[in-house]
Amino acid sequence: STNPLPYRYRPFKNQLISFTRALDRARELVPDMERLEPVRTIGQVVAYTDQHTVSATDRRILTIFLNLHRDMEDFREGPVFSACATPETAARMEQWRSMLSPNYDFSSLRVGFPHQELNHLSCTEARTYYGGLVSLLPIALDLATDIVYSLERM
């Protein structure tokens, strides 16, 4: 396949608990009102990483997530997606572009079977705060895979 993203994502997926714990520690340093809300945007993750992360280990795992997100944006702008698309594929490409926007509110996203990301979150509180965030990449990856498959069949 011409989509390298799933291979880059796999090691991160195994570190989801470390990722959510790093976010927990960063969120301890934000105002109470913000801490009561789920993480909603990539912009928030960037702010937590840049302004509220103390430990180098936490910064590393948050940066891995942000790099994966950036890799998806770069891949979306690459040659695979310059092919002419059917209206249906073009609509999925637009949905993918929207999902990767720094201000896209992913808080209501929940990835389903066969993905197990939400099962790795240990408690309801973690699912509430981070369920959308940990669902974003697998949903975007599935969408990218579908788009690449559609474009390759053309």
The pLDDT score that the predictor gives to residue 23 is 93
Q: Which ranges of 3-86 would DSSP assign to H, the alpha helix?
A: 5-13, 16-27, 32-35, 42-51, 56-76
For residue 83, what are the CA distances in angstroms to 62, 87, 142? 33, 12, 19
| CA distance linking residue 80 with residue 35, whole number of Å | 39
The pLDDT score that the predictor gives to residue 89 is 85
Per-residue pLDDT tens for 95-117? 988 999 999 999 999 887 667 77
Structural domain of 36: 5-153
- pTM, 2 dp: 0.87
Parts of the chain with a pLDDT under 70: 1-2, 79-84, 113-114, 118, 120, 122-123, 125
- The full length of the chain comes to 154
For residue 46, what are the CA distances in angstroms to 6, 49, 61, 84, 93? 22, 5, 12, 33, 24
Respond yes or no on whether the N-terminal peptide bond of residue 114 is cis (omega within 30° of 0).
yes
Number of compact structural domains in the chain: 1
The pLDDT score that the predictor gives to residue 98 is 93
**Torsion-angle region of residue 108: left (phi > 0), alpha (psi -120 to 50) or beta?**
alpha
